[in-house]
Chains A and B, each alone.
Chain A
Amino acid sequence: MNVRSLLLTGGGMVALLVSIAVAVTIGPADISTADVWTSVASHLGLGESALAPLRDGIVWNLRMPRTLLAAVCGAGLAVCGAVMQSLLRNPLADPFVLGVSSGASTGAVAVVVLGVGGGAVSLSTGAFLGALLSFGLVLLLSHTLGGSTDRVVLSGVAAMQLFSALTSFTVLTSADAETTRGVLFWLLGSLTGADWGQVLLCTVVLAVVLVVCLGYARTLDAFAFGDEAAAGLGVRVARTRLVLLCATALLTAALVSCAGAIGFVGLVLPHATRAVTGSGHARLLPVTALTGAVFLVWVDTLARTVLDPQEVPVGVVTSLIGVPAFVAVLYRGRSRT
């Protein structure tokens, strides 16, 4: 078991490093592969780059943070999705099931369209606060309704509807065409504006949340037969659920505030990974983090090159790939029952 885990994790890491190394060499600016790698190496303190500062900037300040943010987002969304699916015992759960993305969009719109914060608050900060507000509302609502798993899911659906309506209302009544387009682009998920600050923030949150979730790996396994079976196996169900919901919501909020609501990574990748790793979370979580990262690095590369010079929001591409996979998940669920 451990050999297999090591092979899968090691293989995933190699695949991720190779993917990042190749993805940064792809782009509209005509820079040779060798030049890209020497430029990256020089920033890592290895050798000198021969590139002009402008072209060096394209590699180090545009392509690198974007590729890394794609990796971190992919990893984070996949882990959150895997945890949500087990915790809520719902194969269709994803990181946004608790209304985090809808809350984020409302927060972003409040800042961009309504000018809340008077320019002192950025779109990302607004989105982050909106996401946490929505999640807080879901927790409160589900607690009031009795706190069982289906209540949590239903509260999430309610919050999602509420905040989507608020976002649409605000955009339709107050925004001009240009602002609407900008907001829409962000809502669909995009890594266009990635910078090193975002990479750092998301990486730190991802690392902390991943450590917490791995600490709960055994406990997550115990939820396979439901809350009461988990309690019978010594799990403090309410506390575990609160800790894991908060951890994943925090990570999702950070990711959404940087890259918008990139759909389907968190839904589909955990399922695809489970087919290889099995259902044990000690193995599933690290491997799905890696598959999610590799997947999003490549999807983003596709999104920014396929219609060059125009850019497709990465969320659109993940959905185009994700919907058939989603149908496959539904189909499997149907044959099961």
Chain B
Amino acid sequence: MTSLHTDRVGWRIGDKVVVDGVTLTLRPGETVGLLGPNGSGKSTLLRLLAGVLTPTAGVVTLDGRPLAEVGRRATARRIASVEQHAETQTELTVREVVALGRIPHRRAWTPPTTADLEAVTEALRRTGLTDRSGQSWHTLSGGERQRTQIARALAQEPRELLLDEPTNHLDIQHQLDLLELVASLPVTTVIALHDLNLAAMYCDRLLVLRDGRAVMEGTPAEVLTPDLVERVYGVRTEVTHGPGHPVIRFLRPAARDASPPKRSVTSDGSTAP
């Protein structure tokens, strides 16, 4: 059984090909990490998966039906996405933001149903935001905003959750908290990440993109080799195999000519592009 599937999907704007013939099959319940340098097409692929962008080549299917056929509202009841940056001018409380997730389930002219209210309460509880439900969105920190958007996505009661670099701009504790939360959710997740070690820790499977093309797909242990990382990111690494997942150590570029490398930085300290 597959849930979301892309078949040689592509997207181009003008002459620029952003995503080029990517095939990806999601198995229910798994967490798939999207890796690749800036501009490799991760965000665009996520938007194609969400049906927010229409592919210029290939097709995205949900349970075997093309997204265009499924329809926008029905798609939004199955697939929820969390964008990299969520900004608004509107004055909203945390609870109001989370309640936006019920829009695809609600009908015009009717007040929220008990199911709507329960889904919002449950999403707040799961993300640990119950105490903050009355707080204004504009007073939240970056991490709290991300959690609020994830709660909004959960309120959609999706079976597929798409996250675009959700740990950006968060300190390490909040990165781990957020990924623990995502990993604990009973949904199929696709998550774009910059941090290779976090990807190794939290993803069942990885898809590596470069220049819009799929370079490699497999388990973290299969994918995260010094050879592949150098080929895709152009940096040298040492990979050791920790408990259950590989651990990547980055080597300083200056060490290229000197051998052996004397100093290294772990990826946690160098997430910024």
Residues in A lying within 8 Å of B, measured CB to CB = 1-2, 86, 89-91, 214-219, 221-222, 224-226, 228-229, 231-236, 274, 278-280, 333, 336
Contact = CB atoms under 8 A, between A and B. Distances in A.
16 contacts: A91-B89, A214-B108, A218-B103, A221-B103, A224-B92, A224-B97, A224-B100, A225-B86, A226-B87, A226-B88, A228-B47, A232-B80, A232-B83, A233-B76, A235-B72, A236-B72
Contacts, number: 76
Contact of B75 (A1, A91, A221, A234): A234
B108 A217 contact: yes
Majority SS at the chain A contact face: helix
Q: Name the 5 nearest CB pairs between A and B, nearest first.
A: A234-B76, A234-B104, A234-B73, A224-B90, A231-B52
B72 A279 contact: no
Interface string B86-119: 1111111000110011011010110100000000
A232 B92 contact: no
A218 B108 contact: yes
Contact of B52 (A222, A228, A278): A228
A279 B106 contact: no
A232 B50 contact: yes
Contacts of A2: 111
A2 B103 CA distance: 18
Interface in B32-56: 47, 50-52
Given A219-B108, A225-B100, A236-B72, 20 more contacts: A89-B89, A217-B108, A219-B103, A221-B100, A224-B88, A224-B92, A224-B100, A225-B88, A226-B88, A228-B47, A228-B83, A231-B72, A232-B50, A233-B76, A234-B75, A234-B104, A278-B91, A278-B96, A333-B89, A336-B89
Nearest to B156: A233
A333 B138 CA distance: 12
Contacts of B108: 214-219
Contact of A232 (B52, B97, B109, B111): B52
A231 B100 CA distance: 12
B81 interface: yes
B77 interface: yes
Contacts of B111: 1-2
Interface in B68-82: 72-77, 80-81
Contacts of A221: 100, 103
A278 B99 CA distance: 14
Given A216-B108, A225-B88, A279-B91, A233 B96 contact: no
Nearest to B93: A278
B7 to A, nearest CB: 22
A52 B105 CA distance: 60
Nearest to A211: B109
Nearest to A279: B90
Nearest to B138: A336
A25 B11 CA distance: 66
Nearest to A216: B108
Given A2-B111, A224-B90, A233 B101 contact: yes
B130 to A, nearest CB: 18
A222 B72 contact: no
B100 A233 contact: yes
A233 B103 CA distance: 6
A279 B77 contact: no
A231 B86 CA distance: 14
Nearest to A217: B108
B77 A234 contact: yes
B152 to A, nearest CB: 9
Contacts of A231: 51-52, 72
Interface-centre pick from A86, A219, A228, A231 (highest chain B CB count, 10 A): A231
Given A215-B108, A280-B96, A222 B89 contact: no
Interface-centre pick from A215, A225, A231, A274 (highest chain B CB count, 10 A): A225
B103 A279 contact: no
A91 B91 CA distance: 11
Contacts of B52: 228, 231-232
A6 B100 CA distance: 22
